[in-house]
């Protein structure tokens, strides 16, 4: 009987923190500075109360908000902390999403090996939990990474895998993004006709 009463009590105690985090997430795009301020407040409270899930969410949000401010070092610092929390909490989906974000920030900083490692780890976890949307996202991110490095054959392989997953899952926004990426590959390799073909497919889905 004891466990039946623990969860609602914890929810009540941590509700204020969750509200702060929710507001911080809402502000992440339009006002990164305010999002950071609220996230730091929520993080301080989470650490004081030993609310590990809240701390993980705060670090993740700080990572994305700092990325939006082009502060990539701070972004990576908080995303790695978030990943550590999620790993200890065994929250696989959230951990994979954090690794995906680490991969994206690392690529932006030019840390290609770190980006590849993070995206590969994210893909493996998404496959383990059969998260189709996550699998498509990780494959697409790997395609982008290889495209940036000029390895177009590898990039196409990952983009096509992402397309296949998105198509089966009927993820329209994912399909549009991947088709656009495939079109860019063909444009960069000089096949304008294929580039037009895939852009038209993307337009049809849009």
| Distance of alpha carbon 160 from alpha carbon 167, whole angstroms | 10
| Distance of alpha carbon 27 from alpha carbon 133, whole angstroms | 24
pLDDT bucket at 9, cuts 50 / 70 / 90: very low
Q: From the DSSP assignment, how many helices (H) and strands (E) are in the chain? A: 10, 0
Question: What percent of the chain has a predicted confidence (pLDDT) above 90?
Answer: 89
| Distance of alpha carbon 185 from alpha carbon 204, whole angstroms | 19
The reported pTM is 0.88
pLDDT bucket at 13, cuts 50 / 70 / 90: low
pLDDT in the model for residue 39: 96
pLDDT in the model for residue 184: 95
| Distance of alpha carbon 62 from alpha carbon 43, whole angstroms | 10
HSE value, Cβ hemisphere, 13 Å, CA-based, for 10: 13
pLDDT bucket at 206, cuts 50 / 70 / 90: confident
pLDDT bucket at 7, cuts 50 / 70 / 90: very low
pLDDT tens figures, 21-68 = 999 999 998 999 999 999 999 999 999 999 999 999 999 999 999 999
pLDDT of 2 higher than 60? no
pLDDT of 11 higher than 60? no
pLDDT in the model for residue 14: 76
pLDDT of 116 higher than 90? yes
When pLDDT is averaged across residues 70-77 and rounded to a whole number, the result is 97
| Distance of alpha carbon 132 from alpha carbon 136, whole angstroms | 6
Please provide the average confidence, as pLDDT, over all residues in the chain.
92
pLDDT bucket at 10, cuts 50 / 70 / 90: very low
pLDDT in the model for residue 156: 96
pLDDT of 75 higher than 80? yes
């Amino acid at each position: 009987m004891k466990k039946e009463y623990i969860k609602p009590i914890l929810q009540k105690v941590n509700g204020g923190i969750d509200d702060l985090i929710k507001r911080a997430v809402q502000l992440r795009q339009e006002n990164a500075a305010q999002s950071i301020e609220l996230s730091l407040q929520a993080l301080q409270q989470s650490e004081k109360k030993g609310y590990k899930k809240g701390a993980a969410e705060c670090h993740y949000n700080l990572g994305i908000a700092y990325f939006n401010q082009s502060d990539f070092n701070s972004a990576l610092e908080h995303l790695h902390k978030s990943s550590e929390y999620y790993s200890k909490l065994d929250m696989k989906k959230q951990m994979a999403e954090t690794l995906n974000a680490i991969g994206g920030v690392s690529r932006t900083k030019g840390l290609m090996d770190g980006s590849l490692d993070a995206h590969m780890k994210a893909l493996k976890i998404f496959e383990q939990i059969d998260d189709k949307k996550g699998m498509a996202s990780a494959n697409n991110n790997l395609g982008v990474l290889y495209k940036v490095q000029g390895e177009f054959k590898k990039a196409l392989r990952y983009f096509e895998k992402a397309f296949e997953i998105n198509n089966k899952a009927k993820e329209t926004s994912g399909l549009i993004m991947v088709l656009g990426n495939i079109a860019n590959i063909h444009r960069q390799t000089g096949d304008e006709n294929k580039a037009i073909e895939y852009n038209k497919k993307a337009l049809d889905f849009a």
